[in-house]
Amino acid sequence: MQRHGKLWARPEGQSVVVSGPLKGESLHALLLKYGESLLGKGRTAEQFPLLVKLIDAHETLSVQVHPNNENAHRTGGEPKTEMWYVLEADPGAFVYAGIGSDATPDLLRTALAENRAEELLVKIPVQAHDAVFMPGGRVHAIGAGCLLLECQQNSNTTYRLHDWGRVDADGRARELHIEPALQVINWNEPTPELLRPHSVEQQNGSERWEIARCPFFRMERLNLSTNYKLTAYPASFRVLFVAEGNIEVTQAGFRAQAPHGTTLLIPASCADLQLRPLAPGAIIMLMDIP
């Protein structure tokens, strides 16, 4: 359990358990120690397969693209498919997702050189509870005024195409990666749209919605009005993020409160859990591997 949203295990940093008998253990240490009991039946990995984080965009972030599993070999990067769930959004907030259907490498290269990149980007207005799927190969940027929960493949490969002319205090611009980016962009994808969640379960007045499913992760939303039994799922670990409200988690004598902003890692070997909203209307984001 941790209370700042991020769940990661990378050479450059690790999540650490903040409470319970494993307090102080890093996520990578748990992976090495518990393996299949943590990840799920038949699953092994040298690194934790997902990375979960919060992105608070006070200004429009850089225009980027990540490789996918099919093209990462072209540049030697790690594949990275991700999705964004909008926790909060200022009026008029938006994201950029994809490029126009007529875009080509030469057109994009010219637009970048002439500072006209925005003309080729697909702009999608967003508000709280919207969600956007971002497969590797899709050009994207997060607009100012968005607080997002991001779930992604565990990768740190980002190719920056455009940074809106920003420079640091010494007048230096951040590095761009235009040529590798052009090698991994998906030029033939349909125009992206917001995801359309669908209800998958109702339980005593609480409801579970599936938001996104792909080979690398699944994201769901639990709207908790009453106590909810989260049944055991031995196929995969699960990550719970308390998006709104405050909940109590109980299981076999264990009891803990998880306030707004808490991230919980539920091992695949865990038995049924009871989730109790301490006030009606808690929202829990649930992530796992389908």
Q: 259: helix, coil or strand?
A: strand
Strand partners, 54: 149
Q: 105: helix, coil or strand?
A: helix
Pairing of strands 282-288, 238-244: antiparallel
Distance CA 285, CA 21 (A): 24
Residue 180: other Cβ atoms inside 10 A: 16
Catalytic, 160? Answer: yes
Phi/psi for 60 (5° steps) reads: -65, 125
Q: How far is CA 22 from CA 25, 88, 281, in A?
A: 6, 32, 30
Are 8 and 14 within 8 A, CB to CB? Answer: yes
- Residue tagged active-site, from 10, 43, 109, 160: 160
Instruction: Name the nearest CA neighbour of 229 among 198, 200, 271, 288.
Output: 271
Burial state string for 43-64 with b = 16 or more CB within 10 A and e = fewer than 16: eeeebbbbbbbeeebeebbbbb
Pairing of strands 131-134, 82-89: antiparallel
DSSP 8-state symbol, 34: H
Task: Give the dihedral sign, CA 240/245/250/254.
Answer: positive
> Which positions are catalytic?
160
